[in-house]
């Protein structure tokens, strides 16, 4: 599901709201999550999961074309851990 598909589905389920308002709400939620992660904060949505930032140490990589060694700097990467309710819902038999 893309962001626009999410907005469309929310608009269908909430006909009393204008689509432009739903776009602002969804955009604001995503912006707040992004800003919190940029500050290094953890974002937890109970039952859904938690977003956090993990650090990858600097390392020596390899250029796949030439095979020569390349220094790769330290990086911050986003990480998502699913919540218990989401895991249970996905793994029902």
Domains present along the chain, CATH in parentheses: 1-41 (no CATH), 48-92 (4.10.520.10)
Taking only the tens place, the pLDDT of each residue in 50-81 is: 999 999 999 999 999 999 999 999 999 999 99
Under 8 Å between Cβ of 37 and 78? yes
Taking only the tens place, the pLDDT of each residue in 8-56 is: 999 999 999 999 999 999 999 999 999 999 999 999 999 999 999 999 9
Six-digit token string for 30: 């995503």
pLDDT band at 92 (very low <50, low <70, confident <90, very high): confident
Beta-strand runs (E) in the chain:
43-45, 49-56, 59-62, 69-72, 75-82
> Over 90: is that where the pLDDT of 93 sits?
no
């Amino acid at each position: 599901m893309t962001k626009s598909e999410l907005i469309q589905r929310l608009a269908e389920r909430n006909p009393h709201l204008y689509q432009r308002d739903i776009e602002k709400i969804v955009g604001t939620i995503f912006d707040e999550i992004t800003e919190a992660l940029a500050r290094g904060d953890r974002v937890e949505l109970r039952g859904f999961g938690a977003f956090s930032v993990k650090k990858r140490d600097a390392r020596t990589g390899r250029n796949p074309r030439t095979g020569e060694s390349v220094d790769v700097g330290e990086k911050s990467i986003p990480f998502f851990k699913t919540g218990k309710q989401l895991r249970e819902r996905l793994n029902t038999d």
